[in-house]
Chains A and B, each alone.
Chain A
Amino acid sequence: MNLSPRTRHRLYLFFLVAPTFVILFGVVIYPFFYNVILSLSNMSLRHIRDWQIIGFGQYVKVFTEPSQPDFYMVFGKTIIWTVVNVVCHVVIGVFLALVLNQKEIKGKWLFRAILVLPWAVPQLIVALTWRGMFNYEYGSINLMLTQWLGVEGVQWLRQPLEAFIAVIVTNVWLGFPFMMVIALGALQSIPHDLYEAADIDGARWYHKLWHITVPLIRPVMVPAITLGTIWTFNNLNIVWLVSNAGEPSDQTHLLVSFVYKAAFNFYRYGYGAALSMVIFAILLVFSLSFMRRSKATDNVYS
């Protein structure tokens, strides 16, 4: 073969990238475009083999179909779920990381291990344990409320608002260790000289937090928050297991459990695909705007 060095180099690069591309094509690109096609089709129980492209009908249904709960109600709950969870994850996670980053703390490894525990336990176990803890009569939460605080037990899993709070509490407990670990890693990479210089300048703790810590952990935290938001937005397990698939009365659904139910319980594959594309669009817009507004890719030292 009489190939120029430049062509050889390009071929070499091609061969290196090709396996990755093949895998990406198989697990991301092809399923994504297949989903786009399905979202434009009438594929369902009665049209599973003879499905056809019908245009944007499924998208129209997503936004206009009267159901209980409807898209807007579920979307609203998903927003609340995501915001509350991510805010709690970040606040608790960063707070604990700041505490654990103090030199004075003894036995840090033990605290770290204990605090990472929620993350290490399988979600299924966590969800079912919390479900048991929220039981009206026998759950430990109500037992504590009634025996220690002397207040009436709460019908956690039987009333819509309480059930929604219950799933949020479970997910907050599950999610903060991730943010804590990320924040701790970021904190440990901050040069200590900066704090010493600030001390010499007479800076108070909140000055150091706001002008040194926050800017320097931002490049690490912003992608983590973005990921955390996407994961939380798309978290099916906790809602599905703690509230037993949207109970009570389908009042604790998130968009992702709504899609799952439409597609896999009612065989509405076209509708489910359209709804999942809507979710994708929402997350894409959020991620891009959040990354841009938070200037996550800017160099903090510049």
Chain B
Amino acid sequence: MKYLRQGLVFMLVAVVAAAAAIPWTGCHRRDDGRIRITMWHQDRIDVRLILQRQLDRFMQLHPEVRVEQLFKETEELRSGFIIAALAGQGPEIVYGPSDQVGPFEIMQIITPLEGIFEKEWLAQYDPRGLTWYKDHLYQVADKLGNHLTLVYNKKLVPVPPTTDEELVKIGKRLTADLNGDGKPDRYGLTWNYTEPFFFIPFMTGFGGWIMDDQGNPTLNGRGTIDGLGFVKQLRDVHRIIPNEADYNVADILFKDGNAGMIINGDWSWAGYKNAGLDIGVAPLPKITSTGLWCEPMVSPKGFSMNVNIAPEKRQWVIELIRYLMSPENQLESTKELFTMPTHMAVQQGDFVQGNEILRNSALQIAHGRTMPVVPEVRAIWDAMRPGYQAVLAGRVSAEQAAAEMQAMALRRIKEMNE
């Protein structure tokens, strides 16, 4: 009997310990009687700090609510949200670029918003910040863009190029062997060569695009071939870009003043400013031979609502999204991060109109292509990456790479949709 009692006590202790651990797993729904709302995002630290200030103010206004933001890497956020939401759990709000809307809609894990937010309220926002998919609104964005631009160091580049010819001319002037070892120490231009997202402006500059209106890949065309050829020329003929650069290398080269210009997104500008660089932002140049602008992808970043939100939380989630979308909060983010707000009044307000970076950012957005939200985009990225890298490594020709990209994209889409 003694043993049995000891066994029971042991089991009881184990159960109590397990129960005590549950709050740390994030499974509990309430905290000290307050409604708890969780928001997942993939924003970097400076954005998180601003968001936390805004959340703190919201919680001061509504002491009955506790809001927690949780950072997750892009892939972790997406797969984690899918797993959690399919299990009937997950954060109430998921925040990120609009391209996650497609798969989330197919899996029915986010809720349509057109019946939740009034038309008048939605009308305050730039339509490009409202992501509709299959006739439903699935995301309301507080930031527009997530787009690439030409960022230049004003000390090295007083006037940015507007055409590819000017780009090459300035690049040649800047590229220099400063220590006499026979190798360039400073380059005219740099960017992340490993990601096809950074290749899109060159593709569009030569008339290409990733897919047609039906979602079929269109990678085996002149846009891809000539865009790849142009990038190779920049490196091998004009020699104005480094031999090899991923995001970190390109970023450090620019920050250290060893590259006069960089192709980078709106997320990077505040960091360059904080690093003490006198930067300018300009639209990516026009390709003279085609007369087309190098158009980057443009996508909003915004809020989607989990389909599993508990009824008692729903109203607070809506209230929180309204609050974070407010013109005051958007302006606060814009002032610190130089991101383009979606609230029309803020877009047309003094700060945005009077700021050179934001004016040029708006110009670049106007010369941008909206990123499709269909899940097939993921297959296209994956299909473009090997060919793009193989061309830069000199293993295949641009024509061969374009054909392989197309074939691989078709295969990937078929596999994904099986």
Interface residues of A (CB under 8 A from B): 1, 3, 8-9, 11-16, 18-19, 42, 44-46, 48-49, 65, 67-68, 128, 131-132, 135-138, 155, 157-159, 244, 247-250, 264-268, 271
A247 lies within 8 A of B389 (CB): yes
Report which of B86, B249, B382 forms a contact with A48, defined as CB distance below 8 A.
B86
**Interface size of B in residues (CB-CB distance below 8 Å):** 46
> What's the Cα separation between A157 and B248 when bound, in Å?
14
Across the interface, do A19 and B416 meet the contact criterion of CB distance under 8 Å? Answer: no
Is B244 in contact with chain A by the CB < 8 A criterion? yes
Evaluate whether A19 and B11 lie within 8 angstroms (CB atoms) in the complex, with A67-B411, A137-B242, A247-B389 already known.
yes
Residue in chain B with minimal CB distance to A132 = B248
Interface residues of B in 93-133 (CB under 8 A from A): 103, 106-108
B contact residues around A131 at 8 Å (CB) = 246
Taken together as a complex, chains A and B put the C-alpha atoms of A241 and B288 apart, in Å, by: 38
CB contacts (< 8 Å) of B103 on chain A: these are 45, 267
B231 nearest CB across to chain A (Å): 14
Compute how far the CA of A52 lies from the CA of B225 in the bound complex, rounded to whole angstroms. 42
A19-B14, A158-B389, A266-B412 given as contacts; is B244 within 8 A of A135 (CB)? yes
Residues of chain B lying within 8 A (CB to CB) of residue A132: 248-249
- The answer to whether A45 touches B385, judged by C-beta atoms less than 8 angstroms apart, is no
Tell me whether chain B's interface is mostly helix, strand or loop, or mixed. Answer: helix
Cα of A250 to Cα of B387 in the assembled complex, Å: 10
* CA distance in complex: A67, B409 (Å): 11
Chain A residues within an 8 Å CB radius of B79: 264
Q: B286 CB to closest chain A CB, in angstroms?
A: 30
CA distance A67 to B379 in the complex (A): 13
Q: Do A11 and B4 form a contact, CB below 8 Å, given A157-B244, A244-B194?
A: yes
Chain B neighbourhood of A157, CB < 8 A: 244, 246
For B246, the closest partner residue in chain A by CB is A244
Nearest-neighbour CB distance to chain B for A136, whole angstroms, equals 4
Of B11, B18, B244, B389, which contacts A249 at CB under 8 A? B389
Residue of B at shortest CB range from A244? B194
> With A68-B408, A266-B379 as given contacts, are A12 and B248 in contact (CB-CB < 8 Å)?
no
A268 touches B393 (CB 8 A): no
Q: How far is the CA of A45 from the CA of B11 in the complex (A)?
A: 42
* Cβ contacts B1-30/A at 8 Å (1 or 0 each): 101101110110011001000000000000
In the complex, the answer to whether A14 meets B244 with C-beta atoms within 8 Å is no
- Shortest beta-carbon distance, A139 to chain B, in Å? 9
Ordered by A's residue number, 6 sampled pairs between the chains whose C-beta atoms are within 8 Å are A11-B4, A158-B393, A247-B194, A248-B389, A266-B379, A268-B418
Does chain A have a CB within 8 A of B243? yes
How far is B87's CA from A239's CA once the two chains are assembled, in angstroms? 31
In the docked arrangement, what's the CA distance between A110 and B101, Å? 54
Residue of A nearest to B106 (CB): A45
Digit string of B365-386 for contact with A (CB within 8 Å is 1, else 0)?
0000000000100110010011
- Give the residues in chain A near B107, CB-CB below 8 Å: 45, 48-49
Q: Is B75 among interface residues, defined by CB-CB distance under 8 A?
A: yes
Enumerate chain B residues within 8 angstroms of A268, measured Cβ to Cβ.
415-416, 418
B7 engages A12 (CB within 8 Å) = yes
Q: Is B416 a contact of A159 with CB atoms below 8 Å?
A: no
Known A-B contacts A44-B416, A45-B416, A67-B411; A159 and B393 likewise in contact (beta carbons under 8 Å): yes
Indicate if the CB atoms of B7 and A265 lie closer than 8 Å.
no
A266 nearest in chain B by CB position: B416
CA distance A258 to B389 in the complex (A): 19
B183, B246, B408: which has the most chain A beta carbons within 10 Å? B246
Known A8-B3, A12-B3, A249-B386: A49·B108 in contact at CB below 8 Å? yes
Across the A-B interface, give the 9 residue pairs with the lowest CB-CB distance, nearest first: A15-B7, A249-B386, A19-B14, A12-B3, A136-B244, A158-B393, A248-B389, A12-B7, A264-B79
Residues of chain B within 8 A (CB-CB) of A137 are 183, 242-244
How far apart are the CA atoms of A58 and B387 in the complex, in Å? 28
A83 CB, min distance to chain B CBs, angstroms: 26
A150 to chain B, nearest CB (A): 13
Checking B106, B389, B392 against A46 with a beta-carbon cut-off of 8 angstroms, the contacting residue is B106
Complex contacts, A12 vs chain B, CB 8 Å:
3-4, 6-7
Chain B residues closer than 8 Å to A135, beta-carbon distance: 244, 246, 249
Query: Does B211 lie at the interface of the complex (its beta carbon under 8 Å from any beta carbon of A)?
Result: no
Known: A9-B3, A45-B106, A48-B107. A158 touches B244 (CB 8 A): yes
Asked whether any CB of chain A lies closer than 8 Å to the CB of B289, the reply is no
B70 is an interface residue with CB less than 8 A from chain A: no
CB distance from A259 to the nearest CB of B (A): 13
A138 and B249 in contact, given A12-B3, A45-B375, A68-B408 (Cβ under 8 angstroms)? yes
Given contacts A132-B248, A247-B194, contact A266 B4 (CB under 8 A): no
Chain A residues with CB under 8 A of B411: 67
Does B390 interact with chain A (Cβ within 8 Å)? Answer: yes
Residue from A9, A158, A244 within 8 A of B392 (CB atoms): A158
B234-262, CB < 8 A from A: 242-244, 246, 248-249
B22: shortest Cβ distance to chain A, in Å? 13
Contacts of A155 in B (CB 8 A): 244, 393
Closest residue of A by beta carbon distance from B184 = A137
State the CA gap A132–B247 with chains docked (Å). Answer: 11
Complex Cα spacing A256 to B222, Å: 36
